[in-house]
Amino acid sequence: MEFETKAESTDKFPVFEVKTEADSNDITDNPHDGKPRQYLCTVCDKQFTRKNILNVHLRRHYGECFYSCSQCEKSFSSQNELHLHVNIHSGRYRCAECSKCFRGSYELARHRKRHAGEKLFECSVCSIRLTTAGCLARHSRIHSGEALHKCVVCDKVFTQSGNLNRHMRVHTGDKPYKCSLCDKSFSNSAHLQTHELYAHSNRRPYNCLYCQKSFKRDADLNRHARVHTGAKPYSCKHCSECFTRLDQLKVHLLKSHNEGNWFTCDICEKKFTESHYLKVHRRVHKDVKTQLL
């Protein structure tokens, strides 16, 4: 796939005229009787009703991001996506309960349903109820007979080939996302972005509205804001207890309702609610062993 770009300067953002030459390996036209023409991305199986939207989407797979946010280090493949992202920094769509910020009113309204515990979308086959139409659509693929993608190592099943490809890195150890500033590499782009933000940047674009503290990520700001708001968005499904953080809820479920599993360190027997926390903890023992040697 090739992109030809021509930039025209404006006061705020560069405007790119994009001409796309896509081969048959990247784009598939799927006409349906009586339905809008569908354009399929064969990289991740997503479908689009307009070819130009698909072309913008494909830039993500090929690393083409032209529009950079001036408040953080994220870049986007279209000007519209950048404008939506800036709403997160401005706090225009902020949840009053947990202070989390969103790109638009639709995302905020969907988030509020989760606080309320609303599950308005019911599966007509197994009657399970879900919080969003998107979750229901993904779940319905299990019953629809749609071709599923199965991991040959652990038998996990995925509805999209892209998700299976990402999962396979757990087994292969493949880390295709390499940091340009050091020798570290990662299995997915999100982990690389987090690494670059924490290891190679001092920027803290997310400012607390209640005090002078600032943070590198909006998620960190949202957790901090609960100190001021007193919000407890994580509620126990078995009793009336509510918690500020998800890990607090997990500990409560384990101790009070015997739900879930502890991840125990085989060296010091310290317990954790998630395997990731145990993995980070084990570095302490590794560092001590290295110092002794």
What pLDDT, on the 0 to 100 scale, is given for residue 118?
66
Give the span between the Cα atoms of 104 and 94, in whole angstroms: 9
In a domain, 43, yes or no: yes
In a domain, 96, yes or no: no
In a domain, 185, yes or no: no
In a domain, 35, yes or no: yes
What pLDDT, on the 0 to 100 scale, is given for residue 290?
61
The parent domain of residue 35 ranges over 1-64
In a domain, 54, yes or no: yes
Give the span between the Cα atoms of 53 and 42, in whole angstroms: 14
What pLDDT, on the 0 to 100 scale, is given for residue 196?
84
What pLDDT, on the 0 to 100 scale, is given for residue 110?
77
Does the pLDDT of residue 213 top 80, yes or no?
Answer: yes
What pLDDT, on the 0 to 100 scale, is given for residue 31?
45
In a domain, 23, yes or no: yes
In a domain, 159, yes or no: no
In a domain, 179, yes or no: no
Region 56-82: mean pLDDT is 72
pLDDT band at 19 (very low <50, low <70, confident <90, very high): very low
The tens digit of pLDDT for each residue in 125-156 reads: 877 777 777 778 877 777 776 657 888 888 77
Report the alpha-carbon angle 102-106-107, nearest 5: 35
Other beta carbons less than 10 A from residue 191's beta carbon = 14
What pLDDT, on the 0 to 100 scale, is given for residue 64?
59
Percent with pLDDT over 90 in the chain? 0
Number of domains present in the structure of the chain:
1
The mean-pLDDT minimum among 21-25, 174-178, 188-192, 210-214 falls in 21-25
Range with the largest mean pLDDT of 7-16, 24-33, 215-224: 215-224
What pLDDT, on the 0 to 100 scale, is given for residue 80?
82
